[in-house]
Chain A
Amino acid sequence: MSIALSAVNLKKNYNNVAAIKGINLEVKQGECFGILGPNGAGKSTLLKMIYGQVLPSSGDLFVLGLNTKDQFTEIKSRIGIVPQGDGLDTDFNAIENLKLFATYFKMNTNLALMRIEHLLHEMKLASHQYHHIDALSGGMRRRLAIARALLHDPEMLIMDEPTTGLDPQARLWIWTYFEKLKSQKKTIILTTHYMEEAEKLCDRIAIVDQGAILDLGTTTQLIQKYIGIEVIELEVGTEKNYWSVKIKSQGLDFQDFENKLFIYFQSVQQRQNFLEHIQNAHYLIRDANLNDVFLKAAGYQIRGNA
């Protein structure tokens, strides 16, 4: 079995409003797959369908070869989930949270205790294991939620915005840890709106907006396809029209972003040629990144509901 997840024309409507509009998707086993999108794009809804908190209106969804229509109990015994907001039980301390989860999974007690000790240690939580959940920092709580998701040694890990709201150190630690999980060939599906995170961790990325997949591929493929290799951020102020015409006449691709134009280049030579025509303007040259792809694919506008 090499396909970990497969969605076929998956749809979800809430009171006749489409939240997911026919998604087709395949995730391979051992792959780290990123779902990227702005707030309200349908990322969480899609994830919740994988673990059964949202039921599809139509279409099919298979997880580890099992049908989500009637095999949720088995699916959930084989996947680990880190939900948004961690969902820790605030009536108990850190180690009790893990012990409780082990009972929910009907794990063998000795095995559970071994796993818990191992994970508390690995997640650098051993010295805080008897602390109440409210006494843990955001980073610790997230690490505890990850430990909890790994308790039953799942084949697949699903994480909804795993580093949102964390400080840079905590985020970096989690990224390093995910690299380790990837080396263990665990399938990882995560949502994020941090391009850096997706770029660093994910083998493939789906850009999702308004309930549909806009595009899908590796980071390199997407950047190559949408942007090229370099970007010049040109400050144009009130002379936007003048510059737009000028750039268009050179056959270059660009995006309009407030008082700047982002101009995309397929080669260094192309960029050099362009720069020869520029005088008296502020600009910045940088590598093309996933951010450019995302902004181009999903559009620049900040939506009213975002």
Chain B
Amino acid sequence: MNSTPGSPSETPARLPSSAAPARIATRARLPLSGYAICMAGICWREALRFLNQRGRFLSALVRPLVWLFIFAAGFRSVLGVSIIPPYETYILYEVYVAPGLVAMIQLFNGLQSSLSMVYDREVGAMRILLVSPYPRWFLLLSKLVAGIGVSLLQAYAFLAIAWFWEVEAPPIGYLTVLPALLLSGLMLGAMGLLMSSLFRQLENFASVMNFVIFPMFFTSSALYPLWKVQESSLPLYYVCLFNPFTYAVELIRFALYGQFEPFSALVVAGCAVAFLLAAIVAYDPSAGLMARRGGPEAAK
């Protein structure tokens, strides 16, 4: 096609129309279908990036598998786990840690996507997202949903491999664990989102591991039941009790065996809402940290 200026083939849709003012007046409100398109677009981009970064998927899978194959096998004989709900018989240590490792996948994923948002902000992709006419809370929520989608794929891939390692949940458990994974993914993703607004620059992932991931993981019921923690150290027990990650682990653990743990669900849902609201405030253009943070250097 000829691209000379004013070529008639390029302009038909752009001709001025007498109906234009009326249409502009109605456009103050964005149509609902646009919201759906916008969220679908954000998820689609996340999926494309995911397909382009297979290394990230593999490393996200190898990490919990190392824990399962090596750590759990080594500790099998050291740690005896008595019968506690939701388990009905004596279980192998591998079976006990599997739900915690699923939660760990989501924890890593949530923080990794938050770090990628810090990176996005540095390279500017975040700004492209934020100049969308859709409300900012909706854009952040869409980003979160996209991240949860990726973490679900990783969690199920891990559960599939673990199944061959004799970590077998009842078949229905693989279905009932889905809502639990969605909720815990939402909480950990929202936590990552909040953290992404607090970081000014791309931090070293190692420091995030040291100061966030490992403390959260170790002070939870992921590796050992809480009654065991209580026996050995009462202060540590209380730390575990106040760690929201504990409840994510327990929610997943019960759901994997077809059971619903209401208290954990409540804590995880409450934390998810709190983290999400805080993140939305942090990204709000008038109240947010972005405005207070300093010059355009922080926002470029």
Asked if A and B bind, the verdict is no
Residues of chain B at the chain A interface (Cβ within 8 Å) = none
**Chain A residues in the interface with B (C-beta under 8 A):** none
